[in-house]
Amino acid sequence: MAADNKKVIIYFTSSGTTKRAAEKIQQATHADIFELQAAEPYPQDYEAVAARGKKEMDSKTHPEIAEDELPDFSKYDEIFVGFPTWWSQPPMIIHSLFDVVDFSGKTVIPFTTSMSSTIDDSMLVFDEMTAKDNGVKLTDGIRYDNDGNLSNFLKRNNLI
């Protein structure tokens, strides 16, 4: 990947942890950055967020995105997609993103935040979500847990 490729970070956060990870990536890559938000905002209370997330997952509901918040993805070559891991996979709003955005010809770089889950199970979901788009290059993802592993990941994947 060339250093002059245009990069964007799109992330969903519920507690602020994924936002902090996205900001660290932004500092290292100088990518544009956007927060993915649901049309019906998630509650602030952890238990209420967890209940809604579990209900969406169990029913396979893809919540509506506040689309006026989305960037014009046609301007970007490399797209970082960040999310907290819920029940070993991305929240359903990440599915919603892949429903409305054509990632054909793009490089997609998943990153997650989790206290215990690796990104491995989420990568299986990303394989499924990107299958509909032509020419998507899906990189190995990363679970952000410290600045050192992030820097190594970005260098190893020629993202900085």
The Cα 116–Cα 131 span in angstroms is: 27
Is 2 among the domain residues?
Answer: no
Residue-wise pLDDT tens digits, 81-140: 999 999 999 999 999 999 999 999 999 999 999 888 889 999 999 999 998 888 999 999
Is 85 among the domain residues?
Answer: yes
Is 53 among the domain residues?
Answer: yes
- Please tell me the predicted confidence (pLDDT) of residue 148: 82
Give the CATH number for residue 70. Answer: 3.40.50.360
Confidence band of 4 (pLDDT split at 50, 70, 90) = low
Query: What integer is the mean pLDDT of 1-7?
Result: 67
Is 12 among the domain residues?
Answer: yes
Query: In the numeric block, which tokens belong to residue 154?
Result: 């970005």
Domain count, the chain: 1
Is 38 among the domain residues?
Answer: yes
Report the predicted TM-score, pTM, of the whole model to 2 decimal places. Answer: 0.93
Residue-wise pLDDT tens digits, 17-53: 999 999 999 999 999 999 999 999 999 999 999 999 9
Are the CB atoms for 159 and 150 separated by under 8 Å? no
CA atoms within 13 A on the CB side of 100: 19
- Please tell me the predicted confidence (pLDDT) of residue 2: 44
Is 118 among the domain residues?
Answer: yes
- Please tell me the predicted confidence (pLDDT) of residue 37: 95
Is 1 among the domain residues?
Answer: no
3-state SS, the chain, equals: CCCCCCEEEEECCCCCHHHHHHHHHHHHHCCEEEECCECCCCCCCHHHHHHHHHHHHHHCCCCCECHHHCCCHHHCCEEEEEEECECCECCHHHHHHHHHCCCCCCEEEEEEECCCCCCHHHHHHHHHHHCCCCCCEECCCEECCCHHHHHHHHHHCCCC
Is 17 among the domain residues?
Answer: yes
Average predicted confidence (pLDDT) for the chain: 92
Q: Which domain range does residue 17 map to?
A: 7-156
